[in-house]
Amino acid sequence: MKVEKVFCTTSEAASILAVSVGTVQLWVDNGLLEAWKTAGGHRRVTRKSINKILHTSPAAQSEAPSTAASQTQNPERLRVMVVEDDRDLLRLYQTMLSRWPMVPLVETSDNGIEALLAVERLKPDLLFIDLNIPGVDGFQMLSILNGKVGYEGMTVVVVSGLRPDEMAERGGLPPNILVLPKPIAFDKLLAIATSVWAQKQGRHNSPSP
């Protein structure tokens, strides 16, 4: 009888979850995976937390079309766009946001040109964006979107490793842009998303004049 291992190395966890070792390390750092370190400094990830990720991954959720369809049809569903060129961070965004209580509709992009097209199509309520992205960078993208008709109500959050003085040297950001540093503080992102979602529900439920 084969006995399932209680702990796995980061490489084994990455293989089971079909992600990179870097993604596993990010998930450990953000509390998605439970892990401890050996005396030699090597991480050991609990199989229980790996199984939990497997059962709640975006891929597993996509296997329930009836639920997904009902969520898409819900006009109160929060629409979130994530623009980030680091694929490990994108996977982390997808996993963390899939656990949010409002179950947002999430679309991701790793470059500014595709992101602009996606924003036009999705009309997101909330945009999380890195600044150092290929094609059209985050500064250019926000400049294009700033003041554009139809996006006045979109909440924009810049999540960047750049310092304020580095942002200023590159032209700065439009007003009313929230800025959070990396590493990503998902608790703060959730607090912002919860506020935006509540405002959206309030607009949807308010009586027509």
CATH number at residue 29: 1.10.1660.10
Q: Which pTM does this prediction carry?
A: 0.72
> For the chain, how many structural domains are there in total?
2
Cross-strand bridge partners of residue 9: 44
Do 183 and 136 belong together in one domain? yes
Rounded to an integer, what distance in angstroms lies between the CA atom of residue 186 and that of residue 4? Answer: 32
Do 154 and 196 belong together in one domain? yes
Do 107 and 44 belong together in one domain? no
Distances from the Cα of 148 to the Cαs of 61, 151, 158, 172, in angstroms? 34, 6, 18, 18
Assess if residue 1 is contained within a domain: no
The conformational region for residue 208 under phi > 0 = left, psi -120 to 50 = alpha, else beta, is beta
Do 137 and 111 belong together in one domain? yes
CB atoms near residue 45 (< 10 Å): 25
Tokens, residue 89: 């961070």
Tens-binned pLDDT, residue by residue, of the chain (209 aa)? 455 678 899 999 888 887 778 878 877 887 778 998 888 888 899 998 888 777 654 443 433 333 333 344 455 789 999 999 998 899 899 999 999 999 999 999 999 888 988 898 888 999 999 999 998 899 999 988 886 777 778 999 999 999 999 999 999 998 889 999 998 999 999 999 999 999 888 876 666 55
Do 102 and 14 belong together in one domain? no
Range of the domain at 24: 7-56
